[in-house]
Amino acid sequence: MERYQLAEKIIEKSGKFLEENFGKGKEKENFRFDVKIFQDVESEKIILEEIEKNFPDDGWLSEEKGEKKNKTGYIWIIDPLDGTFNYLRKIPHFAISIACKGEKEEFGIVYDVMKKEKFTGIKGKGAFLNGKSIKISKIKDLKESVGIIGFMKGNDEIKIGIEIIKKYAPKIKKIRMTGSAALDLCYVACGRVDFYIEFNLKIWDIAGGKIILNQAGGNYIEKISAGKKISIATNNFLKIGI
């Protein structure tokens, strides 16, 4: 469990940096529906430096810096700031996501910096929020369910997303859009919401949260619709069709 212990240490160190710089977000790149900021890069630097110092032969895949091949069979998958636009606009809903996969160890950690909520999942050992066991909800009836839907990736995704909202809004209790894929998966894992739908997520968006969700009893699948990858996370009781 040396890697897990290191990950907890790293994620808190990076979280402290992001918290201290909250409200000071500075744009690095601006896209039509998204941004990159300098805090993304700095948070990633903190994480990768610690991994390189402690496990120099491990591989990693990170949103900003790319990929390093492993020599040990272990790979770290990192999103140093999930919810970048929230962070830039001073919305206190964002997280750091770290996953590590290897022959003898697989875990995910998602840390909500401002709420001090640390979601963790260790393969075969369960899922936890600040050390307390979490499980998915038991909602089976769509009309009692709460879902998170995210689709602000591009014009095509927006069109499909609006159609999904039209389809599900009359059938469920509430829809939310939060801006952090990693936390959205964790919210399904701990039963705050019952399902989550998003388009064209990258591996670093979902790696940590997916492990946590699975360990909490939830289900994650990917489908292709109109040429777009759709991620669907559920509590395993609801049937969500796209």
In the prediction, which pLDDT does 156 show?
A: 83
Q: Do domains 2-133 and 142-234 have the same CATH topology?
A: no
- Which tens digits make up the pLDDT trace of 9-56? 999 999 999 999 999 987 877 777 677 789 999 999 999 999 999 999
| Choice between 231 and 26, residue whose per-residue pLDDT is larger | 231
In the prediction, which pLDDT does 44 show?
A: 97
In the prediction, which pLDDT does 64 show?
A: 83
In the prediction, which pLDDT does 165 show?
A: 92
Q: Compute how many other C-beta atoms are within 10 angstroms of the C-beta atom of residue 43.
A: 27
Distance CA 172, CA 71 (A): 48
In the prediction, which pLDDT does 5 show?
A: 97
- Cα 133 to chain centroid, rounded: 19
Window from 57-66, 112-121, 187-196, 221-230 with minimum mean pLDDT: 221-230
CATH number given to 142-234: 3.40.190.80
Where does residue 83 fall: left (phi above 0), alpha (psi -120 to 50 degrees), or beta otherwise? Answer: left
Does the pLDDT value for residue 157 go beyond 90?
no
Query: What is the percentage of the chain residues whose pLDDT exceeds 90?
Result: 81
Query: Tokens at residue 129, please?
Result: 């929020």
In the prediction, which pLDDT does 33 show?
A: 66
Cβ–Cβ < 8 Å for 47, 97? no
- Which tens digits make up the pLDDT trace of 113-142? 999 999 999 999 999 999 999 999 999 999
Question: Cα-atom radius of gyration of the chain, to the nearest Å?
Answer: 17
Q: CA 87, 64, 228 angle in degrees (round to 5)? A: 85
In the prediction, which pLDDT does 8 show?
A: 97
In the prediction, which pLDDT does 30 show?
A: 72
Indicate the domain borders of the chain: 2-133, 142-234
Contacts of 179 (CB under 8 A, 6+ apart): 83, 85, 86, 91, 93, 94, 150
Cα–Cα nearest to 185, from 216, 227, 223, 228: 216
Query: Tokens at residue 205, please?
Result: 């968006």
Average pLDDT, the chain: 94
Indicate the CATH number of 2-133 among 3.40.630.30, 3.30.420.40, 3.30.540.10, 3.40.109.10. 3.30.540.10
Contacts of 49 (CB under 8 A, 6+ apart): none
In the prediction, which pLDDT does 9 show?
A: 97
For the residues 55-72, what does the mean pLDDT come to? 94
Confidence of residue 215 (pLDDT cuts 50, 70, 90): very high
β-pair type (146-150, 174-176): parallel
For the residues 137-148, what does the mean pLDDT come to? 97
For the residues 162-185, what does the mean pLDDT come to? 95
